[in-house]
Chains A and B, each alone.
Chain A
Amino acid sequence: NAGVMQNPRHLVRRRGQEARLRCSPMKGHSHVYWYRQLPEEGLKFMVYLQKENIIDESGMPKERFSAEFPKEGPSILRIQQVVRGDSAAYFCASSEGQGGTDTQYFGPGTRLTVL
């Protein structure tokens, strides 16, 4: 059973460009979470999605950031008009169910660098 897949692993963008980060959850998992890790810091929750629904986006900036998890295909985290402060590692996690007893499995992350 393949783990959580993320691509690209590394992404370089210039200020003002768009960044698209993709996440394929583990097989059989319908819950996806996105977290952001700034250098030398812990992970901060951004958004929680189930298939075709955003359940909780309380950690996501209101502007420029959006996320989706379509019926078919990977979950996408989209950052429009990137700024230097968006440089970070973005991790996706998936779980079979929702709640503390269902382990979240993390992908390898996408490291975004904004020049």
Chain B
Amino acid sequence: GDSVTQMEGPVTLSEEAFLTINCTYTATGYPSLFWYVQYPGEGLQLLLKATKADDKGSNKGFEATYRKETTSFHLEKGSVQVSDSAVYFCALWGGYNKLIFGAGTRLAVHP
């Protein structure tokens, strides 16, 4: 079945460092791909999405490109801030009534 694999955390960075969180997927067909962010004690917020191959989703300085050839959707940000500390979830919509989530990657940014 469809699945999502994320790099394990926690990821610890200093402020202004470059961020990459890897995400790969397994799916039949051409799923839509998403990154959600969860701040402590809160629900998930959509960060960005891409619905077809080679699409780039971007929001708040974060970017991810839908790579069909490598089945990947890695999240990147050029300069992280302390306020970016959260758990990041990669997810796919495979057309079966549900989002399928990765296990999440915790990011901690220190001043």
A interface, CB within 8 angstroms of B: 4, 6, 33, 35, 40-45, 48, 55-56, 59, 91, 93, 98-101, 103-109
User: Do residues A100 and B46 form an inter-chain contact, with CB atoms below 8 A?
Assistant: no
The complex places the Cα of A6 from the Cα of B41 at a distance, in Å, of 13
Q: Mark B87-111, 1 if CB is under 8 A from A, else 0.
A: 0010001111111111110000000
User: Do residues B89 and A42 form an inter-chain contact, with CB atoms below 8 A?
Assistant: yes
Residues of chain A lying within 8 A (CB to CB) of residue B94: 100
The count of residues in chain B whose C-beta lies closer than 8 Å to any C-beta of chain A is 24
User: Do residues A108 and B42 form an inter-chain contact, with CB atoms below 8 A?
Assistant: yes
User: Do residues A108 and B43 form an inter-chain contact, with CB atoms below 8 A?
Assistant: yes
Q: From B94, which residue of chain A is reached at the shortest CB distance?
A: A100
B interface, CB within 8 angstroms of A: 4, 31-32, 36, 42-46, 49, 51, 89, 93-104
User: Do residues A48 and B98 form an inter-chain contact, with CB atoms below 8 A?
Assistant: yes
Q: From A43, which residue of chain B is reached at the shortest CB distance?
A: B101
Residues of chain B lying within 8 A (CB to CB) of residue A55: 97
User: Do residues B44 and A43 form an inter-chain contact, with CB atoms below 8 A?
Assistant: yes
User: Do residues A104 and B97 form an inter-chain contact, with CB atoms below 8 A?
Assistant: no
The complex places the Cα of A109 from the Cα of B104 at a distance, in Å, of 17
User: Do residues A91 and B98 form an inter-chain contact, with CB atoms below 8 A?
Assistant: no
Given contacts A99-B93, A101-B32, contact A41 B103 (CB under 8 A): yes
The answer, among A6, A43, A98, for a CB contact under 8 Å with B97, is A98
Residues of chain B lying within 8 A (CB to CB) of residue A4: 43
Residues of chain A lying within 8 A (CB to CB) of residue B104: 40-42
Q: From B100, which residue of chain A is reached at the shortest CB distance?
A: A45
The answer, among A6, A33, A101, A107, for a CB contact under 8 Å with B98, is A33
